[in-house]
Chains A and B, each alone.
Chain A
Amino acid sequence: MKKTLSSTLVALLIGGMQVANAAEKSYSLPLSKPGEPVSIDIEVYRGSITLVGYKGDTIEISAKSSTFSGKDKDLKKVKNKMNKNNSSRSTKGLKSVKSQGMRLEIEERNNQVEISSEVSNQHVDLVIKVPQRSSVEVELYKGGDLNIDGVNGELELESYEGMIIANNISGPIVAETARTDIVVNFSDFAIKTPSSLTSHMGNVDITLAKKVAANVNVQTFQGEIFSGLDKDFVVVDEIKKNKKGKKQEIVLGGIMQSKVNGGGQDLSLTSYSGNLYIRKGE
Chain B
Amino acid sequence: MTNQEIIDWKIASLANNDKSELSEEMQSYLDKNAKLKEELLFIDHFWTNDVKPIVMPSSKLDANFYQMLSRAQSAQQHSVQQGITQLAMPQNGYGASLQEQPVSLLDKVKSWLMPLPIAQFATLALVFVLGFNLNQSRSNNMNNSDYIGLQHEVSSLSTMLAISMLQKDSASERLSGVAYSRQADLSNPLLVEQLIELLAKDKSTSVRLAVINSLGQLKSFGSSEQQLFTLATKEENLLVQIELCRLLLNYGSVDIKNRLTDQANQQLLKPEVQEFIQAQLMASYI
Pairing of A with B? yes
Interface: B206 (CB within 8 A): yes
**In the complex, residue of chain B having the shortest beta-carbon distance to the beta carbon of A197:** B206
Instruction: State which residues 170-188 of A face B: CB under 8 Å.
Output: 171-174, 176
In the assembled complex, the Cα of A137 lies from the Cα of B173 at a distance in Å of: 13
Taking the nearest CB of chain A, how far is it from the CB of B217, in angstroms? 12
> Is the Cβ of A251 less than 8 Å from the Cβ of B204?
no
Enumerate chain B residues within 8 angstroms of A176, measured Cβ to Cβ: 204-206
Instruction: State which residues 190-215 of B face A: CB under 8 Å.
Output: 203-207, 209-210, 213
Interface centre among A135, A173, A268 (most CB of B within 10 A): A268
Range for the number of chain A residues in contact with chain B: 20 to 34
Q: Given A194-B179, A255-B213, A272-B239, does the pair A174, B206 have CB atoms closer than 8 Å?
A: yes
In the assembled complex, the Cα of A272 lies from the Cα of B283 at a distance in Å of: 20
Interface: A195 (CB within 8 A): yes
> Is the Cβ of A174 less than 8 Å from the Cβ of B175?
yes
Interface: B29 (CB within 8 A): no
Q: Given A270-B239, A272-B238, does the pair A193, B175 have CB atoms closer than 8 Å?
A: yes
Interface centre among A154, A174, A195, A197 (most CB of B within 10 A): A174
In the assembled complex, the Cα of A192 lies from the Cα of B280 at a distance in Å of: 36
In the assembled complex, the Cα of A263 lies from the Cα of B130 at a distance in Å of: 56
Taking the nearest CB of chain A, how far is it from the CB of B236, in angstroms? 11
Q: Given A198-B205, A272-B239, does the pair A249, B179 have CB atoms closer than 8 Å?
A: no
> Is the Cβ of B238 less than 8 Å from the Cβ of A174?
no
> Is the Cβ of B175 less than 8 Å from the Cβ of A248?
no
Taking the nearest CB of chain A, how far is it from the CB of B232, in angstroms? 16
In the assembled complex, the Cα of A158 lies from the Cα of B204 at a distance in Å of: 9
Interface: B172 (CB within 8 A): yes
A-B contact pairs, 9 of them (CB 8 A): A2-B169, A156-B171, A158-B203, A171-B172, A174-B172, A194-B179, A200-B239, A255-B213, A270-B205
